């Protein structure tokens, strides 16, 4: 309790330029974090991921490619939205640092997914 009390009431020594600069930097950082949180964080801001939209998956159960810029082979994906009753699944094709290969059980689906 005493430490918390000291932190709340502690003021930098105006003669110590390091303490003054540190307080200013911490206040600036606090304001930036507050502004980010008040504007709202996007889901993808919290992950090393990309949100991708596929306008048309093509024929049912046919492999399609989803390009990404993660600069690494993705470890998975999460479906956010699909416009038809269908299941999106790994096609078995090789995933790379630029694309992943998927299939959809329904034809011509519009799909939004997160690649991570």
Q: What is the mean pLDDT of residues 45-69?
A: 94
Confidence label for 1 from pLDDT (cuts 50, 70 and 90): very low
Q: What is the pLDDT of residues 78-90, one digit of tens each?
A: 999 999 999 999 9
Q: Please give the helix or strand (H or E) that residue 9 lies within, else none.
A: helix 2-9
Give the contacts of 38 (CB within 8 A, at least 6 positions apart).
none
* Lowest pLDDT segment from 20-24, 36-40, 67-71, 103-107: 36-40
């Amino acid at each position: 309790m005493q430490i918390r009390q000291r932190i709340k009431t502690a003021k930098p020594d105006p003669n110590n330029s390091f303490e003054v600069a540190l307080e200013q930097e911490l206040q600036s950082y606090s304001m930036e974090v507050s502004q980010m949180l008040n504007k709202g964080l996007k889901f993808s801001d919290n992950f090393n991921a990309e949100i991708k939209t596929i306008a048309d998956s093509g024929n049912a159960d046919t492999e399609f490619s989803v390009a990404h810029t993660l600069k690494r082979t993705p470890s998975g994906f999460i479906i956010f939205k699909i416009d038809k009753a269908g299941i999106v699944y790994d096609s078995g094709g090789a995933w790379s640092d630029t694309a992943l290969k998927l299939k959809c059980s329904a034809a011509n689906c519009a799909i939004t997914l997160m690649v991570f």
